Amino acid sequence: MAENHTKLKKPRNTGIDLLRIVAMFFVVVLHCLGRGGVLNAAQPDSAAYRGAWLMEICAYGAVDIFALISGYVAFTGKEKRTCYANYIQLWIQVLFYGILVTVLFQITGKAPVTRHDYGMVLLPVTNGLYWYFTAYTGLFLIMPLLNKAILNCSVKTLKLAGMVIVAAFSFFDTVAGRFMLASGYSFVWVTLLYILGAILKKCEIGKKWKVYQIAIGILALYAITFLYKLYGPEFTKLSVTVTRDCLISYTSPTVLGAAILYVIAFSKLRFHSVLKKIIGFAAPGSFAIYLLNNHRLVWEYVMKERFAFLAERGMAVIFFCVIGFALAFVMVSILVDQVRILLFKLCNIKGLATWIENSIRWLGDRILCSGDCKTEGNSVCETSRKAD
């Protein structure tokens, strides 16, 4: 009977899926306030200024959350083969939305579109069109090594590594800025977050914490960041300059701490079957939200200074307009991505990605084993395949 048992697929963590969507909602809010011009247009010390910055701070952990999730879900407790086809499908998705939005702008005449624009979207990583995807590409290349190291490290060693990452690359770098993390807009920071996410999962950090306790922690970290932004001291000591904006950064310990608490809290959430289906329907579109909102033409001709006028309308108007736009953008993006998913199925993009992966593996085997296999009877190649 044992031979006939099918291997059960481990159920997805619906709370983490929901958090992906929340993180992308935060991204749109950040872009409305920043690129949209609200923060620059608001008069300092006004209610609109304070309210806009409070919203900015509450949404600032978006990128940290998304990168932490990558490491959290990647750790499964056992060694597994790296699926390069997943990245290939992701790259094709980036290409799809890059071309789609560019074509739409050209058809509608909303922006001058040239051959150069199409050349840019055809090479998204080379041209650095999406900084996070570019950073994730670098991370993906070393992911097999990271996964093996995390799997083979003891819980004690990983906890120590996590403490070092937080102390050196968050606390210290926020003050001194000596590790060239570019405030978190870098491959190095995304990689560190991936490692931290895996550490959270393997070491079961926060397993015994209650959701309400975590919520209090998040609010406290928001409060510290907000109060320092408004009233914190600014000084220069030993060639290190500390400003009121020092905690408003992806590498900030308060922003990172809140992001970590979000991952722990949402991993504990459990939902009714109906909500599970709704979240399961929406979650695959989370990356589409980022790609659509960050397309260079959308960034320049849709988002730029579009919301600056809200700064004169008061905090309530800013809140409802920004939140309303972000929610609408998220929902429309998710629906658009359902069409993309259907098209990808019809075109068998998954099969194409798998074929490309198999071709790359076959070529890699031939290159890496060209000398050894002749003398060792293909044993080197077989060992390499089993390890993969």
Q: What is the pLDDT of residues 13-42, one digit of tens each?
A: 899 999 999 999 999 999 999 999 999 999
The residues, any chain, with a CB within 8 Å of residue 174's CB and separated by 6 or more, are: 246, 247, 249, 251, 252, 253
- Positions in the chain short of pLDDT 70: 1-10, 370-388
Q: What is the pTM of this model?
A: 0.91
Determine the pLDDT at residue 245. Answer: 93
Determine the pLDDT at residue 274. Answer: 93
Q: CA 151 to CA 142: how far, in whole Å?
A: 14
Determine the pLDDT at residue 384. Answer: 46
Tokens read off for 171: 């606390």
Tokens read off for 10: 């481990």
Determine the pLDDT at residue 57. Answer: 97
- Which among 25, 34, 42, 35 has a CA at the least distance from the CA of 310? 42
CA torsion angle 283 287 288 290 (round to 10): 130
Q: CA 287 to CA 197: how far, in whole Å?
A: 18
- Which among 42, 49, 24, 19 has a CA at the least distance from the CA of 226? 49
Q: CA 345 to CA 95: how far, in whole Å?
A: 16
- Which among 319, 243, 322 has a CA at the least distance from the CA of 51? 319
Determine the pLDDT at residue 387. Answer: 46
Determine the pLDDT at residue 9. Answer: 53
Tens digit of pLDDT for each residue in 257-314?
Answer: 999 999 999 999 999 889 999 999 999 999 999 999 999 999 999 999 999 999 998 8
User: Side chain identity at 96, as an amino acid letter?
Assistant: F
> Is 236 in a helix, a strand, or coil?
strand
Determine the pLDDT at residue 279. Answer: 94
Determine the pLDDT at residue 167. Answer: 96
